[in-house]
Amino acid sequence: MERVYLDNNATTMVDPQVSALMKEYETEKYGNPNSLHSYGMEVRQPMEKALDQLYKGLGASDEDNIIINGCATEGNNTVLKYYLFDQILKKGDKKSVIVSSVEHPSVFNTAKYLEKMGARVIFLPVNVDGIVTLDILKEYLNPEETALVSVMWANNETGLIFPVKEMAGYCRSVGVPFHTDAVQAIGKIPVDLQESPVDYLTFSAHKFHGPKGIGGLYVRKGMPIGPLLHGGEQMGNLRAGTVNVPGFIGMGLAMDLAVSQLDRELTQVRALRDRLEDAMARLPDVSILGKRELRTPNTILASFKGVEGEALAWELNKFGVAVSTGSACASESLETDHTLVAMNIDPSLSHTALRFSLSRFTRDEEISYVIEVLGKAVERLRKISIDY
Amino acid sequence: MAKKDLIGGKLWETYSNNVIERMNNPTYFGEISPEEADAENRRLIVADWGAESCGDAVRLFWLVDTKSDTILKARFKTFGCGTAIASSDVMAELCMGKTVDEALKITNLDVEKALRDTEDQAAIPPQKMHCSVMAYDVIKKAASLYKGVEMEDPEEEEIVCECARVSLKTVKDVIRINDLKSVEEITRYTKAGAFCGSCIRPGGHEKRKYYLEDILAEVRAEMDREKIKSIGSLETFEEMSPIAQYKAIEEIFAEKIKPILHRDGGDVEVMDIKKEGEETIIFIRYLGGCATCAAAGTGTLSMIDKVLKETAGPRVTARMI
């Protein structure tokens, strides 16, 4: 086995069909969609199609907006900073923003910035399962003060799924706008905006086998929003900058494929993940974070006692297996991942946690290989480790 | 921030081949059994440092010849990242064949240097240096166990950073040994301040007795004073820049001259430093009691002149302005 990629929560392989489609719009049909001539003309229809695929994939209605942008970080910044500049600082009656304490840095650090600029930010704690529940949200939400709530749909580190539908429904009932970072949910679990009354939703193509550098922000009909990037008239004046046409078209197809193959994710990918997880659990002194039924079907966050995360990631990389670690030793700042801190787990676990994330391209024999080498890697490092 | 910082995630590419080789195949990991030490003039020392909850922990085994205090064999076990394994391996290697006192001189820098591929290329990135600092700490621990003395230094017991369990002594040592100039550097070397951040400066979620910013300022000031004090001979004083000369003179006045004048309610200040041929003239002005004292221009001046000649050099002369 040459290499096995189990870091799909970081990024995914571009589906070959998507890649093939995009090529056409790089070397042949490379016009600017805002041009009047034939080069501009020929890309507009495929872009319309990509939009249709995105609207359909998310269950958006034609009155809603899906603003195509550069990445989910941009979408998250657009929403949070719109509320800062156009609501909190300008009107000033509602000054607080609620986010979860386990958000991805693109929400977490943006919220910190809002705090610095004068907003009051509440970081919601998680329960024993690592989840923000509706009850926790209700405890902290005050419709008189809260300008915006932002809670992720699924967590990048643990794969834990949050009750977004219930939280969004509650927020709607008390008149507070609700945003969700759905980057880790799309293509892994059903995301339907007909059913879940969220007002804003961000996504990124490279997490569901689309290209990097392209994403989108869904804005429900009637919800206020302004541009983060000012400039030209693209995206109905809501996102300036020449549209990344190949990325846009690729993302449309990637969404279409992700939604049509969702059943496979929920069955085949889940079965492979469960097989790997069961094999891990058979190794001595392994803990898996987060209940299986509460997680996206592709993710495992596991801790191997006595084995530091970066050392194990290194060891697995020698065998060609790519995984990621939230261990402080692997980060440039030496800081423990804030998700693990917020989950209040044993500090020694936070140094040993390793994330395995599969995709619909993960094959059965790859999982067999990972199971085989994981046992060897853990055994070798435990030989070196103290008290093991 | 510059070009080299724009693409992140380069951690593993920054390790030297030597580090990688030792991460993959450490030579000296393992234990030394009590049976091995069960001979005349042999003693087994087992020292622990760090804790798994901090992310790094190491156990050092020494087999020591008690007649010569020589470390015959060293082994380690470690919970930690690959660079902790590599630095522990090199540390064990460096200990062997040395006496306990010689081993005590092994610093974090020695460990890092031994891991380099080439002389001028660091073996590991700065934020990973704490692994080698740990090597240095565990040797100290082993030596104190061998000598039967407690690590009695009160600074050793004074924990500055609770999260990473870093002592006041360690913080002061790394500042001195590595000539650190910022709190960020201290954090990279020791992990102190990397977690909750309370120990960096007041205002964190927990009140601390010591703060890294204060310790850094204090140690830097101490180091500056020592630097000046170490400059006692004529040739070095002459070679100093005007600013360094001024600082050195100020220091001499503060340490040796002013306290004497203060006793009699007098004071003095340095007004200027000028070169006259081979001579360096220190122009002074008296204040307080000295300004009106009859002996200021005679006995006091010759006392000052004598002190300057003893400290800064024979060709330094005091003169009233």
Task: Note the pLDDT tens digit of each residue in B247-303.
Answer: 888 888 988 889 888 888 889 999 999 988 888 999 999 988 888 887 888 888 999
Do residues B168 and B288 share a domain?
Answer: no
Do residues B247 and B174 share a domain?
Answer: no
Do residues B28 and B175 share a domain?
Answer: yes
Do residues B239 and B193 share a domain?
Answer: no
Helix (H) or strand (E) run with residue B311 in it: helix B299-311
Tokens of A269: 């990918």
CATH class held by domain A16-260: alpha beta
Do residues B285 and B251 share a domain?
Answer: yes
- In angstroms, the first-to-last Cα distance of chain A is 30
Domain assignment present for B119: yes
Among the three residues B222, B255, B275, which one is the final residue of a domain in this structure? B222
Do residues B97 and B211 share a domain?
Answer: yes
The 3-state DSSP class for residue B171 equals helix
Do residues B80 and B181 share a domain?
Answer: yes
CA dihedral A233, A236, A237, A241 (to 10 degrees): -50
Do residues B193 and B129 share a domain?
Answer: yes
Beta pairing, strands B159-161 & B166-167: antiparallel
Please list the residues that pair with A124 across neighbouring strands.
A100
Domain assignment present for B5: no
Domain assignment present for B8: no
How many C-beta atoms lie closer than 10 Å to residue B225's C-beta? 14
Most A CBs within 10 Å: which of B79, B162, B165, B196, as the mutation test of the A interface?
B79
Q: Which of A41, A281, A329, A384 is catalytic?
A: A329
Containing structural domain, residue B306: 234-320
Which residue type, as a one-letter code, is found at position A68?
A: I
Q: Which of B54, B77, B194 sits opposite A385 (nearest CB)?
A: B77
How buried is residue B33: exposed, middle or buried, by Cβ count under 10 Å (0-12/13-18/19+)? exposed
Please report residues of A whose CB lies closer than 8 A to that of B187. 334
Do residues B52 and B179 share a domain?
Answer: yes
- In this complex, is the C-beta atom of A347 within 8 Å of any C-beta atom belonging to chain B? yes
Do residues B97 and B154 share a domain?
Answer: yes
Q: Decide: pTM greater than 0.95.
A: no
Please report residues of A whose CB lies closer than 8 A to that of B48. 386
Which among B150, B137, B63 is positioned nearest to B100, based on CA atoms?
B63
C-alpha to C-alpha distance for A151 and A148, rounded to whole angstroms: 10
Domain assignment present for B181: yes
B246: CATH: 3.30.300.130
User: Which residue ranges does chain A devote to CATH 3.90.1150.10?
Assistant: 262-381
Q: What is the pLDDT along chain A (388 residues), one digit of tens a residue?
A: 789 999 999 999 999 999 999 999 999 999 999 999 999 999 999 999 999 999 999 999 999 999 999 999 999 999 999 999 999 998 778 999 999 999 999 999 999 999 999 999 999 999 988 999 999 999 999 999 999 999 999 999 999 999 999 999 999 999 999 999 999 999 999 999 999 999 999 999 999 999 999 999 999 999 999 999 999 999 999 999 999 999 999 999 999 999 999 998 889 999 999 999 999 999 999 999 999 999 999 999 999 999 999 999 999 999 999 999 876 566 555 556 677 777 777 766 778 889 999 999 999 999 999 999 999 999 999 999 987 7
User: Which residue ranges does chain A devote to CATH 3.40.640.10?
Assistant: 16-260
- In this complex, is the C-beta atom of B55 within 8 Å of any C-beta atom belonging to chain A? yes
Do residues B207 and B274 share a domain?
Answer: no
CB under 8 Å to A371, separation ≥6 — which residues?
A275, A276, A279, A280
Instruction: Tell me whether residues A308 and B55 touch, CB distance under 8 A.
Output: yes
Domain assignment present for B6: no
How high is the ipTM of this complex? 0.85
C-alpha to C-alpha distance for A298 and A282, rounded to whole angstroms: 19
Do residues B87 and B168 share a domain?
Answer: yes
Query: How is domain A262-381 classified at the architecture level of CATH?
Result: Alpha-Beta Complex (3.90)
C-alpha to C-alpha distance for A182 and A178, rounded to whole angstroms: 12
Domain assignment present for B4: no
Among the three residues B163, B197, B222, which one is the final residue of a domain in this structure? B222
B117: CATH: 3.90.1010.10
Active site residue A71: no
The number of distinct structural domains making up chain B is 2
Domain assignment present for B212: yes
Domain assignment present for B76: yes
Please list the residues that pair with A216 across neighbouring strands.
A68, A203
- In angstroms, the first-to-last Cα distance of chain B is 50
